Amino acid sequence: MATGCCGVKRQKVCSGSNCTKNCCNGSNAVYPSNGIDRSLVVCAEMCCFCFDLLYCHLHNQPPPSSTPKFANHSFPVFVTWKVGNEKKLRGCIGTFTAMQLHEGLKEYAITSALRDSRFPPIAKEELPHLHCSVSVLRHFQDAKDYQDWEIGRHGIRIEFTNDKGSSKSATYLPEVASEQGWNRRQTLEALLRKGGFRGKVTLEFLKTIRVVRYQSEKYNLSYDEFVSMRPKNGRV
């Protein structure tokens, strides 16, 4: 199941399985999955792969046939598209279920561009103005309470019971609170509203929320940067 970066669908929260260090160079050094190793998984090639997929889709061409150069280990992943110099959000969808990166990016590069219900599908004319971000999610931990996370460092996924007695969940990626200038209380209130909660957000209610914190490795790439990395690609 997919969810947007502000999504509300119920998800299994998974931490990444063992993965290969320096995914772009094919090294076979292995990290533990317990959140201790801080070596990077994300790389520019992942964004290039997403651009390739979207370009082919918008131009009615078959998807790239070559195997991506980055390692194909399993992690939860999100793909975000923004447009213009102001980097206006155009789509953000991903999953908390660990997927092999080749398949996960293949799925969410297109889904986030065309099926984010908050926005119309990205059009071919927008392609030269796009920015792509890939977020690989790692280091999931149950927070001790609703305040046990850091703005700018952690993304959070909350689980709560709404005013109708239904179980709901919602998430913000780590950069959202910082970009909006929110403190922890404001972030949680906004996330609860995104999740469909319409009641009064009291201190007592906040204490009932389950919070899972996580970290994200994120790489950003503009379309121009993508083209510069693909000088021999006949499609661009």
> Which among 193, 7, 217 has a CA at the least distance from the CA of 91?
7
Q: What CATH number did the domain enclosing 109 receive?
A: 3.30.700.20
The per-residue DSSP string of 52-118 comes to HHHHHHHTT-PPP-SPPSS---EEEEEEEEEETTTTEEEEEEEEEEEEEHHHHHHHHHHHHHH--TT
Q: Is residue 122 in some structural domain? A: yes
User: Any idea what DSSP says for residue 123?
Assistant: P
DSSP structure class, residue 33: S
Per-residue DSSP letter, 26: T
Give the domain extent around 181.
141-215
Q: Is 80 exceeded by the pLDDT of residue 14?
A: no
Asked if residue 105 and residue 23 are part of one domain, the reply reads yes
Q: Quick: pLDDT tens for 126-148.
A: 999 999 999 999 999 999 999 99
Gap between the Cα atoms of 203 and 131, Å rounded: 39
Indicate whether 235 belongs to any domain.
no
Residue 21: band (very low, low, confident or very high) from pLDDT cuts 50, 70, 90: very low
Q: Which residues contact 162 (CB under 8 A, 6 or more apart)?
A: 168, 195, 196, 197, 198, 199
Overall average pLDDT of the 101-105 stretch: 96
Co-location of 125 and 16 in the same domain: yes
The verdict on 62 and 110 lying in the same domain is: yes
Task: Report helix, strand or coil for 4.
Answer: strand
pLDDT digits (tens, 9 = 90+) for 164-213: 888 999 999 999 999 999 999 999 999 999 999 999 999 999 999 999 99
Q: Above 70 in pLDDT, residue 2?
A: no
Same domain, 109 and 14: yes
User: At 232, is the pLDDT very low, low, confident or very high (cuts 50, 70, 90)?
Assistant: low
Q: Which strand (E) or helix (H) includes residue 193?
A: helix 184-194
